[in-house]
Structure formats: C-alpha cells, structure tokens
C-alpha cells in the first residue's frame, strides 16, 4: 500500500504508517529544518516543498506514479488557523488556504483513502473571523468538499494516550474512504487498564533506559529556577507557599483560568502533558520531574515515540519545534493499521462505551447532532 505524505514535518505520522506496512512514496514540507531532517533520515525519498507551488500532476510526477498508484493521502495542514490559542481566522488565514489546497489535490488525485489530522479547535472553527455561519462552519465546509467528491467520512477527537503514547495529546483525525464509512481507530490502552486494554504509559516508561550522558536541552533562567527548587514531581505553582505563588506569577496570579502550565514539573507515574514547540515558555512549562531543567530533546523524542536513532536537524529550538509539532508515532500506527485492515477487507470490532477523549460531541455522529440542535434552537 502506497501513501503520499503532506505537511510531513519530522515524519512522526509517516513512521507510524510504515510500521503498519504502508510505503510512503513522497513527502512534502516547507520548513527548512524539517526538510533537512527528512533528507537526513530518508535520503532516497522524493521531497517537495510548499504544496501551494505544485499541481496534482506535478506531485504525481515527483512521486513517480500515476493516480491509480496512490492508495492513501495523509496530512496535518497547519493548525494555527484553527487553534483556540490563536485568532482563529480559519480559511481567511493563509494557512487555512493551504488546507483548501490540500483538499483540491485530494479531489483531483482521488486516492482510495484520505487522512486529515488537526487540532481540537477545528471542531468549532468558523470559515473566517467574521463568518456568519458560526462555530463549526470550517469543518462543515471540509466535510462537504470530501463528500461531494464521493468519500465516506468519519472523524473523532482522539487522546493519543489511548494508543500507547506516553502523552495526553488530543487531536482530530478525519478518515475518508471511497467505500463504506470508516470505523473509529482501535485503542490499545486505557487510563486504568479498562476494557481489557493495557494501562496508559507514563513518563517514566517513556524515558526508561535513556542514556544519562546524552541530553540536549535549553535552560531555565535563574530567576525561575528558584521556584522550581521548591517543587517535586507532578507539582506546579499551586504547590508553592502563597507568598511565593504571588511572587512567581506576578500579575498572572490574579488572572482567571487554571494556569496549570506555570512552573510545571512532570509526574513520573503519569503520561506527559501535550508537548509544545518550546518547553520553557512561562505558561506551558515542561520541566523534568526532579532535575532543574526543561525536558530534553531526547525526552521529547521518547514521548512522541520517535526512534532514538532518528536524526533531527537545525538548532535546539528547531528540534523542539519539529518534535512538538509532530504526530505521535503511535497514533500514526493506529491510523495505518485501520487503513490497512480496511484495504484488506478485515472486520474491525468497535469497543462499546469507550471514551476516546475527555470531551463530548467530538465524533461525526454526535457532532452533527449537536450542530443541528443548535441551528434549531436559533430558529425559535
């Protein structure tokens, strides 16, 4: 089974697909450091740049194949246009337009299967900042394009810890097929080992056996280290004495929100929080459980399930960014395993009652019902 990969980054999704038995025959990436990473690890893999610069025919030519040779197209279009942490301009954002370009290429090549990975914010994003259609209109537009082209579509919000990743990371995965509606991904883990599955992997599981002498990381400034020295594994600013809390957070102490990312040390016995592109930003700290430093690049790789031997190019911050933006390899494997089984016509049994994320109304069935109910409420 052959796949074309877009927005490939450090290739976390691709590693998972290949583990499931899918051959990636072309990668596409615009970031300079990520391109160098792809070239260093896959020197013989055809690699193109900005998707906006290529037609479907040019992509097929670079991949040295015909339309009928492409079984699968995968990609996680830039998520900043839909992230709840940004301005959420949707398709009015240049990065949102790349999403539409990706869909154009999909509907021209028409592979048997298509996979789209994105942030949770896609479920509630509008087509544009001033779009009158309101929340969810961006996803509605995406689904309409895919369905009009002949695809059956399913989607859900998945916590990657349920697929063996030692990390709480929730991502929307849309699976499309030129056949029946695809089922959900098959989980392998559960928080408490329920449903006959394995228990979630922890940070300790992830870093076990990692060489002590080989760690690449940035440092915290001394003015912040003074507070970390008061904290133990799994603690954050709330575990400081009250006066130190106020001193450490400054004006942020009086703002709303949970602020759990401030002065946060990871716990040994839990999965890591979502890895971000910089482990030492004040509101999203990712500090080692006991050492007075941020997580290392090597620990980042383990948490995202990259092989220790995987070469990362660019500066230390470039390396953090590549891994922080990546799809965990375990989620990539779950996606690849689902597509392979669909391709082979094998039966996939659903686990009844399994909750894939901490949020409700996040799959194609309940999301549509919720959206329709809201539209009805607006009519009365």
Give the active site residue among 65, 79, 329, 379: 79
| CA atoms of 160 and 91, how far apart (whole Å) | 27
Identify the CA nearest to 169 among candidates 154, 177, 159.
159
Identify the CA nearest to 320 among candidates 312, 310, 330, 328.
312
Q: Where are the beta strands (DSSP E) in the chain?
A: 2-6, 23-28, 47-48, 72-75, 113-119, 152-159, 170-177, 189-190, 198-199
Identify the CA nearest to 275 among candidates 243, 236, 321.
321
313 is catalytic: no
| CA atoms of 314 and 284, how far apart (whole Å) | 23
Query: Which residues lie below 8 Å from residue 112, measured CB to CB, with a gap of 6+?
Result: 71, 72, 177, 178, 179, 343
Question: What is the residue whose two structure tokens read 């590693």?
Answer: 15
Pairing of strands 23-28, 198-199: unpaired
Question: What is the residue whose two structure tokens read 């916590």?
Answer: 159
Q: What are the structure tokens assigned to 258, written together?
A: 């949970």
| CA atoms of 153 and 163, how far apart (whole Å) | 21
| Residues identified as active-site | 79
């Amino acid at each position: 089974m052959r796949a074309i990969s877009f927005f490939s980054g450090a290739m976390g999704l691709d590693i998972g697909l290949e583990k499931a038995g899918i051959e990636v025959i072309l990668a596409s990436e615009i970031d300079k450091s990520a391109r160098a990473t792809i070239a260093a690890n896959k020197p013989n893999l055809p690699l193109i740049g900005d998707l906006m610069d290529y037609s479907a025919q040019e992509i097929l030519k670079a991949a040295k194949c015909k339309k009928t040779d492409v079984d699968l197209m995968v990609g996680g279009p830039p998520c900043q246009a839909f992230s709840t942490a940004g301005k959420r301009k949707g398709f009015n954002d240049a990065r949102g337009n790349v999403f539409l370009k990706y869909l154009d290429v999909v509907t021209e090549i028409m592979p048997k299967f298509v996979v789209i990975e994105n942030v949770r914010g896609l479920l509630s994003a509008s087509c544009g900042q001033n779009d009158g259609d309101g929340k969810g209109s961006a996803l509605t537009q995406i689904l309409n394009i895919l369905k009009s082209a002949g695809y059956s579509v399913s989607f859900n919000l998945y916590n990657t810890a349920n697929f063996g990743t030692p990390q709480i990371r929730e991502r929307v995965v849309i699976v499309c097929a030129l056949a029946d509606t695809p089922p959900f991904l098959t989980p392998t883990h559960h928080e408490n080992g329920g449903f006959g599955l394995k228990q979630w992997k922890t940070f300790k599981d992830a870093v076990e056996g990692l060489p002590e002498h080989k760690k690449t990381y940035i440092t915290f400034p001394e003015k912040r280290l003074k507070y970390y020295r008061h904290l133990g594994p799994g603690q954050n600013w709330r575990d400081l004495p009250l006066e130190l809390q106020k001193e450490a957070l400054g004006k942020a102490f009086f703002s709303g929100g949970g602020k759990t990312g401030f002065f946060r040390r990871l716990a040994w016995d839990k999965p890591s929080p979502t890895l971000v592109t910089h482990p030492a930003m004040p509101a999203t700290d990712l500090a080692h459980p006991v050492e007075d430093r941020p997580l290392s690049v090597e620990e980042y790789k383990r948490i995202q399930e990259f092989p220790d031997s995987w070469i990362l190019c660019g500066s230390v911050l470039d390396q953090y960014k590549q891994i922080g933006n990546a799809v965990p390899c375990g989620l990539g494997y779950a996606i690849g395993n689902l597509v392979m089984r669909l391709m082979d016509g094998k039966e996939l049994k659903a686990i009844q009652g399994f909750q894939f994320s901490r949020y409700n109304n996040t799959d194609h069935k309940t999301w549509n019902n919720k959206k329709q109910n809201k539209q009805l409420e607006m009519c009365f």
